[in-house]
Amino acid sequence: MPVRIDTPVLFPAPRGGYIDGERFRDREWKPALCAAGIEHRGPKMMRHTFATWAIEDGLQLSHLATIMGTSIRELEDTYLRWLKRTDDQVRAAFDAYDLEFTAAAASGR
């Protein structure tokens, strides 16, 4: 944890200051992925994975933007294909509901 909450460096290097990205990847990132049994990917790819899973699970874009420290517009621009896929999932859910309702009406329920 940073010494003060208002520090610009949320995750400082062990001796303070900024984390060296290359050393972080070699010393921390790669061993952590290996230990977790996760195929190697960069930190940015994990960010994209989180965003796409959150979108597919229906998390509101306003909430996701807050969590990720970005804007709704940036999410829409970056993840449009997943947003469209989510729309397809919503349509499929409505279609399933319509089929169930039609079947219930036909059987007199």
Q: What is the pLDDT of residue 62?
A: 93
Whether residue 90 sits in one domain with residue 50: yes
Are the beta carbons of 79 and 51 closer than 8 angstroms?
yes
Three-state SS at 6: coil
Q: Tell me the pLDDT tens digit for each residue of 5-57.
A: 666 776 778 787 888 888 888 888 899 999 999 888 888 888 888 898 888 88
Whether residue 14 sits in one domain with residue 32: yes
- Could you give the number of structural domains in the chain? 2
Give the range of the structural domain holding residue 30, as residue numbers without chain letter: 1-40
Are the beta carbons of 9 and 2 closer than 8 angstroms?
yes
Q: Tell me the pLDDT tens digit for each residue of 63-97.
A: 999 989 899 999 988 888 777 776 677 777 778 87
Whether residue 32 sits in one domain with residue 51: no
Whether residue 46 sits in one domain with residue 34: no
Q: Give the Cβ contact number of residue 31 at 10 Å.
A: 10
pTM of the model: 0.53
State the sign of the Cα–Cα–Cα–Cα dihedral 98, 100, 104, 107. Answer: positive
